Structure 1
Amino acid sequence: MAQGIGDNGAVRGNRWSMAIWGGAALLLALPAVAMRFTTEVDWGPEDFITMGLLLAAACGGYEVATRISGNTAYRAAVAVAIVTAFVTVWVNLAVGMIGNEDNPANLLFGGVLLVALLGAVLAWFRPRGMAVAMATAALAQGTIAVYALFAGHGALALFIGLFVLPWLLSAQLFRVAARSLSQPRNRP
C-alpha cells in the first residue's frame, strides 16, 4: 500500500493503489490480447510504449495526489482531471478530435492540458487554486468547441464541448475540498 504523511502528521495510505495500477496494466494488455483475435487492432512497439507512458503518468499523478491530501473530494477532483486529460490525449493520438490525428488544430488541446497543469503548479496544488485552474481549463476547452463550430465541425464541436463538463466537475470538487479543509476540525 502506498503511504504518505497526512494533513495531521499521520501516515496516510492509498487503498486503491493496487486496483489503479492493476487496471492500467490490464488496459495496456487489452490491445495485445485483441491482436491475437482480430486484424483490426494493429499496435506496434511504439504504441505500447506511448500508452504505457500515458498510463504511468496518469497513475503516478494520482499517487502523488493521494500524498498531497487525504481529503476525498480533493482526490476525486484529481481523479476526474487526470482521466479527462488522459482521454483527451488518447483520443487525439488515436484519431484526433478535429479532423484526423494529423490535423494541427488538435494541438490546441495541448493548450488545455497546459492551462490545467500550469494552473495547478501556480496554485501549489492547493484546492482553492486548483478549482480556478480546472475552471480555466474548462473555459479553454469550451473555446476550442466554439472554434470547431465556426470551422464547420458542428458535430465535433458538441463532442469537444462535452469535455467541458468533467473539467467543471473537477473544479467543483476542488471547491468542496477547499471548503472542507478550511473548516475547523473537532478534536476530542
Structure 2
Amino acid sequence: MHGGKAGAGTTESDGGRREGAWRIAIWGIAALVLLLPLLAMQLTEEVAWDLADFAIFGGMLVAACGTYELAARVTGNRAYRAAVGVALAAAFILVWMNLAVGIIGNEKNPANSMYGGVLAVGLIGAMIARFQPQGMGRAMAATALAQASVAVIALIVGLGYTLILTVFFVALWLTSAGLFRRAAREQAHAGVH
C-alpha cells in the first residue's frame, strides 16, 4: 500500500482492490456528472449545451479526476488526499460557475477574471511548497484570502456583493488548509517513530 501499514486482517491485494474501487467510483461519478447536462437538456430548454460546452466540462472533469488520482498514488495519507479532493472541488466549482453564469454579474463580466488570480495563488503556492502538506496548508489559506479579497474588491468598486458564494469558497479553501495541516502533523508524527 502507499505510505501506510497494512492493518490486521488486510493484505496488499485488499488495499489494491479498495484503491481500484475508489478509482472506478471517482471516474464513474465524473461520467455521471458529465451526463447530467445532457439529461437536463431533455427536461428543460433552460439548459442548451453544445459540443464545445461538453468538451470543456469533460476536460475539466478529466483534469480534476486525474489530479486527484495522481495525489492518491503519491501518498496514502488520507488527510492529504481529502485536502486535495476539497481543493480540487473548490477550484472545479469556481471555474464551472464562472464559465456557466459568472459570479460577479454574468459570465461575460470581465471582473470574473479576478477568480483566475485566486486559482493562480493556489497553484503557485502549491508549487512553491513542492506539494508538501505544511506548505500546501499555507497555500490554501492564501487562496482563501485571495478569494475574500476578490469579493472585497468587487464590493468596493460597486460590481456587486457575493457574500454567500465567498463564504462558501473561503470555507472550502480553509477546510483544505486544515486537512493539509493535519496531514503535516501525521507526517511529522510518523517520522518521529
Q: Above 0.5 in TM-score?
A: yes
User: How many Å apart are 1:35 and its aligned residue?
Assistant: 1.6
For 1:31, which of 25, 34, 37 is the aligned residue? 37
Scaled by the length of structure 1, the TM-score of the pair is 0.89
Spell out, residue by residue over 1:88-143, the C-alpha distance to the aligned partner (whole angstroms, 9 max, x if none).
00000001011111111111101111111111122111101111110110110010
Q: In 2, are the aligned partners of 1:96 and 1:103 still within 8 Å (CA)? A: yes
Identical amino acids, percent of aligned pairs: 52
Q: In 1, are the aligned partners of 2:105 and 2:160 still within 8 Å (CA)? A: no
Amino acid of the structure 1 residue aligned with 2:22: W
**Matched length:** 183
Scaled by the length of structure 2, the TM-score of the pair is 0.87
User: How many Å apart are 1:31 and its aligned residue?
Assistant: 1.3
Amino acid of the structure 1 residue aligned with 2:144: A
Amino acid of the structure 1 residue aligned with 2:67: G
Q: What RMSD in Å do the two structures reach over aligned CA positions?
A: 2.1
* Whole-angstrom CA distance in 1 between matches of 2:132 and 2:159: 37
User: How many Å apart are 1:53 and its aligned residue?
Assistant: 0.3
- Is residue 135 of structure 1 aligned with residue 113 of structure 2? no
User: How many Å apart are 1:27 and its aligned residue?
Assistant: 0.7
Amino acid of the structure 2 residue aligned with 1:131: G
Task: Please list every run of 5 or more consecutive structure 1 residues that lacks an aligned counterpart in the other structure.
Answer: none
1:108 is matched with 114
Q: In 2, are the aligned partners of 1:145 and 1:161 still within 8 Å (CA)? A: no
Q: In 2, are the aligned partners of 1:120 and 1:130 still within 8 Å (CA)? A: yes
Task: Please list every run of 5 or more consecutive structure 2 residues that lacks an aligned counterpart in the other structure.
Answer: 7-11
2:177 is matched with 171
* Whole-angstrom CA distance in 1 between matches of 2:133 and 2:62: 24
Higher helix fraction (1 or 2): 2
Alignment partner of 1:100: what SS?
coil
